[in-house]
A = this chain, B = another copy of it.
Amino acid sequence: MIFRGLIRSKFSANQKLFRSIRNIFGFYPDNIFLYKLALRHKSATKKKINGLKINNERLEYLGDAILGAVVADYLFKRFPYKNEGFLTEMRSKIVSRSSLNKLSLKLGLEKLILSDADPNYRPKSAGGDAFEAIIGAIYLDKGYYFTRRTIITRILNLHYDLEDLVDTEISYKSRVIEWAQKEKKDLSFKVVQEIGEKQNKQFKVALIVDEHTITESIDYSIKGAEKIAAEKGWYLLTPQS
Contact = CB atoms under 8 A, between A and B. Distances in A.
Contacts of A239: 214-216, 232, 236
A91 B73 CA distance: 20
A114 B84 CA distance: 19
Nearest to A56: B84
Contact of A69 (B65, B82, B91): B65
B144 A81 contact: no
A52 interface: yes
B81 A72 contact: no
Contacts of A202: 121, 123
Interface string A35-61: 000000011000001111100011011
A117 B69 contact: no
A66 B220 CA distance: 26
A117 B53 contact: no
A52 to B, nearest CB: 5
A204 B121 CA distance: 13
Contacts of A130: none
Interface stretch (A20-28, A181-189, A191-199): A191-199
Given A62-B76, A66-B72, A218-B241, A117 B236 contact: no
Given A58-B87, A118-B196, 8 more contacts: A50-B81, A61-B88, A68-B68, A116-B200, A121-B202, A144-B145, A204-B241, A216-B241
Query: Which 9 residue pairs spanning A and B have beta carbons closest together?
Result: A65-B72, A69-B69, A121-B196, A61-B84, A215-B239, A50-B81, A57-B84, A117-B200, A65-B69
